[in-house]
Amino acid sequence: MKTMHLSDRFDLLTIKGTFFALKVCLEPVVNLLPHEEIVEELLTDLTNDLINCGKVRDPIVVDEETLTVLDGMHRLAALKDLGAKMAPVCLVPYSTETIRVERWIRIIRGNLDYNELVCCIGKPTRRVKREDIFTGTRRSPCTGIVLGDEGVLVKGDSKMECYRLVSELERYLRTRGFDISYVTEVEALDEKRSLLIVPPLLEKRDVTGIARQKQLFPPKATRHIIPSRVVGLNVPLSLLKQPDSKQLQEFREEVLSRKVQRLPPMSRYGDRLYEEELFVLG
């Protein structure tokens, strides 16, 4: 039995998407660079799911140039915990304009004392109008807190510092019994009665830079808009833990024999509605 060298990438197939080529392969886990912390409860659930089903259904989405993980932080962490040497990935050109990075706005509903939360920050704040919160946090390292038509901006020394503040506020609110929802910026604009926490918008260079430094943003720092996605790879966990050359070749041949089905944006696959186009490896 011949085992793959740990630094070797094993190519499976390339799919010509509408916007760019999607390169599906198995990549050594040591090469992959996450950019966000994981949530322990989600990691536990996903790890148990991998153990029970014995396979990884969908590839992790990774920047082909820097190997920064764009989507699939918990899958990567679960694979590492289970002793996998390789991970299924879909390499995409992160630098292309068709891939965008947006942010998650935090919504806190309930009887929350706005002034009390502002006082908890412990840093100078500047009162501004609601619309200035969204524009201000897009241009500079600031965190915004909004209620109604007004809010405050908290300037940080870096975007990482701002996200650490957001994470601290989330922990404080959860200890007080408040639920936190994560919504898109478009959805948040219509929320006039609930309190919003608006983190700074990250750029692609922020994401890859942090990953290269082996640092991690708190969870839910990025919302990547990727117009094409590959699903249904279903690679056996045993193969990822013991990447034998013969079995890898057999798996590649089996994958290449499948019919690739394209589903247009806003299609339902499994129990989820996808905004992007899907390529299902049926």
Sort strands 60-63 and 86-92 into parallel, antiparallel or unpaired. Answer: parallel
Scanning the structure block, which residue is given the tokens 């891939």? 99
- We report the CATH number of the domain holding residue 276 as 3.90.1530.10
Q: Quick one: 190 and 111 in the same domain?
A: yes
Predicted TM-score (pTM) above 0.85:
yes
Span 176-192, pLDDT tens digits: 999 999 999 999 988 88
Examine the fold and report which residue of 164, 197, 230 is the final residue of a domain before the chain moves on. Answer: 197
CA 147/CA 143 separation, integer angstroms: 14
- Copy the structure tokens of residue 74: 């918990």
Both 151 and 83 in a single domain?
Answer: no
Q: Does residue 33 sit in the same domain as residue 89?
A: yes
pLDDT tens per residue, range 113-130: 878 888 888 888 899 998
Task: Yes or no: say if 78 and 50 are a contact pair by the CB < 8 Å rule.
Answer: yes
Compute the distance between CA of residue 227 and CA of residue 236 in angstroms, rounded to an integer: 27
State mean pLDDT over 137-148: 92
Considering the domain boundaries, does residue 4 fall inside one? no
Distance CA 46, CA 84 (A): 14
pLDDT, tens digit, for every residue of 195-245?
999 999 999 999 999 999 999 999 999 999 999 999 999 999 999 999 999
Task: Based on the fold, state whether residues 111 and 124 are members of the same structural domain.
Answer: yes
Q: Is residue 185 domain-shared with residue 262, that is, in the same domain?
A: no
Calpha distance 195→256 (Å, rounded): 50
pLDDT score of 111: 83
Q: Which domain holds residue 235?
A: 10-99+208-213+221-281
The answer to the question of residue 5 being in a domain is no
Q: State pLDDT tens for residues 6-65.
A: 568 999 999 999 999 999 999 999 999 999 999 999 999 999 999 999 999 999 999 999
Q: How many domains does the chain have?
A: 2
Phi-psi region of 72 (alpha: psi -120 to 50; beta: other; left: phi over 0): left
DSSP 8-state symbol, 76: H
Tokens (6 digits) for 210: 């942090």
Share of the chain above pLDDT 70, in %: 98
Rounded distance, CA 278 to CA 246, Å? 30
β-pair type (86-92, 100-102): unpaired
Q: Are 197 and 108 in contact (CB under 8 A)?
A: yes
93 domain-assigned: yes
**Residue 269 domain-assigned (yes or no):** yes
